[in-house]
Amino acid sequence: MRLSKAFLPTLKETPADAQIASHRLMLRAGMVRQTSAGIYAWLPLGWRVLQRVEQIVREEQDAAGAQEILMPTIQTADLWRQSGRYDAYGPEMLRLRDRHDREMLYGPTNEEMVTEIFRGYARSYRDLPRNLYHIQWKFRDEVRPRFGVMRGREFLMKDAYSFDLDYAGAQASYRRMFVAYLRTFARMGLKAIPMRAATGPIGGNLSHEFVVLAETGESQVFLHRDLLDFDVLRAAPDYEGDLSSVVDFWTGRYAATDEEHDEAAWGAIPEGRRVSARGIEVGHIFYFGTKYSAAMDLKVPGPDGALVEPEMGSYGIGVSRLVGALIEANHDEAGIKWPDAVAPFAAAVLNLKQGDAACDALCERLHAALAPACLYDDRAERAGVKFADADLMGHPWQAIVGPRGAAAGKVELKRRATGERQEVSFEDAVARVRETGAG
Amino acid sequence: MRLSKAFLPTLKETPADAQIASHRLMLRAGMVRQTSAGIYAWLPLGWRVLQRVEQIVREEQDAAGAQEILMPTIQTADLWRQSGRYDAYGPEMLRLRDRHDREMLYGPTNEEMVTEIFRGYARSYRDLPRNLYHIQWKFRDEVRPRFGVMRGREFLMKDAYSFDLDYAGAQASYRRMFVAYLRTFARMGLKAIPMRAATGPIGGNLSHEFVVLAETGESQVFLHRDLLDFDVLRAAPDYEGDLSSVVDFWTGRYAATDEEHDEAAWGAIPEGRRVSARGIEVGHIFYFGTKYSAAMDLKVPGPDGALVEPEMGSYGIGVSRLVGALIEANHDEAGIKWPDAVAPFAAAVLNLKQGDAACDALCERLHAALAPACLYDDRAERAGVKFADADLMGHPWQAIVGPRGAAAGKVELKRRATGERQEVSFEDAVARVRETGAG
């Protein structure tokens, strides 16, 4: 893509009302634009990242055996009356009336709706287990939305819902999502730690938050260093088999948010293995048994013919929030440093002398070889502007072409994450970018 | 995917309230489930089709130089007051108030919002032309929603918006979308005919509807047979060049909806070249000049320094509606007949004797070779049930494995569109399915 023709506007000024790094950088890099309080439009740079994040989430859900559906954003109040949550849910629920004066709402979550859908089709225990997920926009009418997409009102969430015949099955479903979540965040280059959590308004008695570590994170967390050292992606999980040992590794070592922190348990860890860090919640999983199946009359005949209320769990990932978390975990003063796996473009080609025949020709060749994951800065701008915009937008690679190098067929290749620079041939530049699989 | 573990529920009964073929078949095939009047959840089979349709739309928009963004569903009323449409828009607009009692709405379209976004960044004529599009859920509160996803209240639309410096540029943008639309529908195996249309509430003075031909279509259309004979995909368009000759071919021959029909012009066509058919509107493009830029104060300095109000157009495709239109154009009494390009699965493997060692082994091999676009019907069901469900769900290919064939290593391959059947080897079955690129 040629920057001269793209809609990739950057801002020089730091927006005054943006309090955290990701919010500042997303506005400055032209990733999003606020259209109302806590509601954002995703511009091309942000939209590319959001799609890549969403795709990784999708692939790991599919690998774990969850099946994708798409539930609508607008729900009827009647559905929520069946679970008793319509009145219980506070002012964060966006309530509305349609032209026939029927009470509706913009879904903040989908336990009720998915239970109703499953109830419509499940005929026997042979229809279990199932795990249905969707990736859909939700609305929570926060009283004071802030921190950009980290705490917006309209936000993109992946929510999965499992249905099992019994407790053992439900625990197995929970473990599959537990492991899928570890892999999802690891693939994005994030260190995510599951932490035992309170279940809150979803209900139930077993729940974990997944907290991503970032120096500028929103809350304090405490964990055993073993959890940091573990390589999640070392082996592919067997989702058909027993995942207890993997889950036990994680749940058997100390990890707690500030609210759940236990000084005594923490003190029992050898000092050198204690890690205290800042974190950002990006996922939350719940087992809540028959809370919704009982309330909403979801029953299927079991193997012995007796009716069974399926055991359920729900599993959320804040997809749009993750984009903010990724920036909190990967940035410096100059801008964003995208991990390869979620970068909007693998590389930017910076032409330092637009109009110079050798520069233009080499840049065109690079752009063609690295398409479609390449952004060619072909604007009639000073080198300094191009450097600053590339650092701000955070492309993993910058291929810098000046007149002296171009005459010798050389490219200066800069790795954004480390700042490392190397003068290389055209072929080596293309090969280096490609081998990281970025963009 | 194994049908025994999938969430692909089919219904034997024809739903009583479904009046048209696509609505009936989408419910019976388990593609969608109604969750409120005119609001649907997309189940895995439907969701796969919707994603494939969306991806073709996206690829053709990108090829034509449009850039993808994502605007939110909830908008402020203030934005629509700037254009004067807040009061003008009727009860189809879903209006609501947030917890701070601010007037908001669920976007039925996005002219205002995209103009506001573009206004926020455009600094000079060098920022033109641009075409921004998104694929997002919209809401129109139809008084009597019906015909399933063909006339739902919450529906998925692709809407693009072009910004040009002058009339000539705006016409070139219009032609790019015109050609992109022809290709989009042709890639899905549809015959889509552009027809001159009234502009309605969007405003402006140039507009075309794209109408897909289907025997069970909603309205009568009239066209010159030349338009049917033209092979849209024969040559790739040059979007950088002048597309006038292509557009002139289409606009120079008679094509009209019932409302715009002109008996005299129609009568002037040689009788053998007159086609009267049923059609379904699936896209609509508009040129409306400076209507929104003037109303919303979008101006940029032109090359001579004088302020210019950009000329705009908007371009919609009903993405969820297209799924219904595809079925209207491709079905028979037994069910759906998916075109290869949008099929949810390329093939279904039908095991006629589950538990027979040779059948099971051959089916497993087929399933593995054709994954992930293969659905393996491994249920303990009678052959008749499997045949009926495969015909209903409409997979382009059925690979039928019975004990006699399996013992000889043979597969019966059925082409759903034609009913043609052939006994072939494992290798030929895999090759035939793959070469159609289905699923």
Per-residue pLDDT of chain A (439 residues; tens, 9 = 90+): 999 999 999 998 888 889 999 999 999 999 999 999 999 999 999 999 999 999 999 999 999 999 999 999 999 999 999 999 999 999 999 999 999 999 999 999 999 999 999 999 999 999 999 999 999 999 999 999 989 999 999 999 999 999 999 999 999 999 999 999 999 999 999 999 999 887 666 666 689 999 999 988 989 999 999 999 999 999 999 999 999 999 999 999 999 999 999 999 999 999 999 999 999 999 999 999 999 999 999 999 999 999 999 999 999 999 999 999 999 999 999 999 999 999 999 999 999 999 999 999 999 999 999 999 999 999 999 999 999 999 999 999 999 999 999 999 999 999 999 999 999 999 999 999 999 876 6
Distances (CA, A) of B383 to A246, A385, B176, B402: 42, 68, 50, 9
* Chain segment B246-289, per-residue pLDDT in tens: 999 999 999 999 999 999 999 999 999 999 999 999 999 999 99
CA-based nearest distance B178→chain A, Å: 21
* Chain segment B148-171, per-residue pLDDT in tens: 999 999 999 999 999 999 999 999
Q: List the single residue in B65, B69, B75 with the smallest CB-CB distance to A42.
A: B69
**What are the phi and psi torsion angles at A364 (to 5°)?**
-60, -40
CA-based nearest distance A179→chain B, Å: 20
Dist CA B39 CA B151 (whole Å): 10
Mean pLDDT, residues B415-439 = 93
Check CB contact under 8 Å for B36 and A96. no
Domain A345-435 has CATH 3.40.50.800: yes
**What are the phi and psi torsion angles at A80 (to 5°)?**
-80, -20
Three-state DSSP class for A75?
Answer: strand
Dist CA A330 CA A336 (whole Å): 6
Partner A contacted by B112 (CB < 8 A): no
Partner B contacted by A90 (CB < 8 A): no
Give the CA radius of gyration of chain A.
Answer: 24
Of how many residues is chain A composed?
A: 439
Check CB contact under 8 Å for B75 and A99. no
Q: pLDDT averaged over chain B?
A: 96
Distances (CA, A) of A22 to A44, A338, B35, B48: 17, 12, 37, 33
Chain B, residues 54-73, CB within 8 A of chain A, namely: 65, 67-73
Q: What's the ipTM?
A: 0.96
- Residue whose entry in the numeric block shows the structure tokens 């050898």: A270
Partner A contacted by B245 (CB < 8 A): no
- Residue whose entry in the numeric block shows the structure tokens 């189940």: B43
CA-based nearest distance A118→chain B, Å: 9
CA-based nearest distance A253→chain B, Å: 35
- Residue whose entry in the numeric block shows the structure tokens 């007796």: A306
The Cβ of residue B136 has, within 10 Å, a number of other Cβ atoms equal to: 19
Check CB contact under 8 Å for B41 and A126. no
CA-based nearest distance A40→chain B, Å: 6
Check CB contact under 8 Å for A99 and B143. yes
**What are the phi and psi torsion angles at A142 (to 5°)?**
-55, 140
* B137: pLDDT strictly greater than 90: yes
- Residue whose entry in the numeric block shows the structure tokens 């154009």: B329
CA-based nearest distance A220→chain B, Å: 31
Dist CA B388 CA B284 (whole Å): 37
* B366: pLDDT strictly greater than 70: yes
Pick from A123, A126, A128: nearest CA to A65: A128
pLDDT at residue B438, rounded to an integer: 64
Of how many residues is chain B composed?
A: 439
% of chain B exceeding 90 in pLDDT: 93
Distances (CA, A) of A202 to A73, A89, A111, A195, A292: 19, 11, 9, 17, 10
Partner B contacted by A276 (CB < 8 A): no
Dist CA B421 CA B413 (whole Å): 6
Check CB contact under 8 Å for A67 and B50. no
- B194 pairs with which residues across the strands? B210
Dist CA A395 CA A390 (whole Å): 7
The Cβ of residue A295 has, within 10 Å, a number of other Cβ atoms equal to: 17
- A76 pairs with which residues across the strands? A104
B338 touches B394 (CB < 8 A): yes
Three-state DSSP class for B68?
Answer: strand
Check CB contact under 8 Å for B117 and A73. no
Q: What angle do CA A388, A392, A393 make, to 5 degrees?
A: 120
Residue limits of CATH 3.30.930.10 in chain B: 21-335
Q: Which long-range contacts (C-beta less than 8 Å, at least 24 apart) are formed by A232-236?
A: A232/A182, A232/A183, A232/A186, A233/A183, A233/A186, A233/A187
**What are the phi and psi torsion angles at B57 (to 5°)?**
-60, -45
Residue limits of CATH 3.40.50.800 in chain B: 345-435
Kindly list the residues from chain B whose CB atom is less than 8 angstroms away from the CB atom of residue A130. Answer: 5, 7
A410 touches A358 (CB < 8 A): no
Chain B, residues 143-182, CB within 8 A of chain A, namely: 143, 153-154
Strands (E), A175-218: 192-196, 206-213
In our burial notation (b when 16+ CB lie closer than 10 A, e otherwise), range B258-293 reads eeeeeeeeeeebeeeeebebbbbbbbbbbbbbbbbb
* Chain segment B207-248, per-residue pLDDT in tens: 999 999 998 898 999 999 999 999 999 999 999 999 999 999
Written as six digits, the tokens of B374 are: 């293969």
Element (H, E) at A151: none
pLDDT at residue A438, rounded to an integer: 64
* B123: pLDDT strictly greater than 80: yes
% of chain B exceeding 70 in pLDDT: 98
Partner A contacted by B36 (CB < 8 A): yes
Dist CA B299 CA B128 (whole Å): 11
Nearest residue in A to B45, CA atom? A69
Kindly list the residues from chain A whose CB atom is less than 8 angstroms away from the CB atom of residue B47. Answer: 68-70
State the Cα torsion B197-B201-B206-B210 to the nearest 10°. -40
Partner A contacted by B9 (CB < 8 A): yes
Architecture of domain A21-335: 2-Layer Sandwich (3.30)
Dist CA B9 CA A122 (whole Å): 9
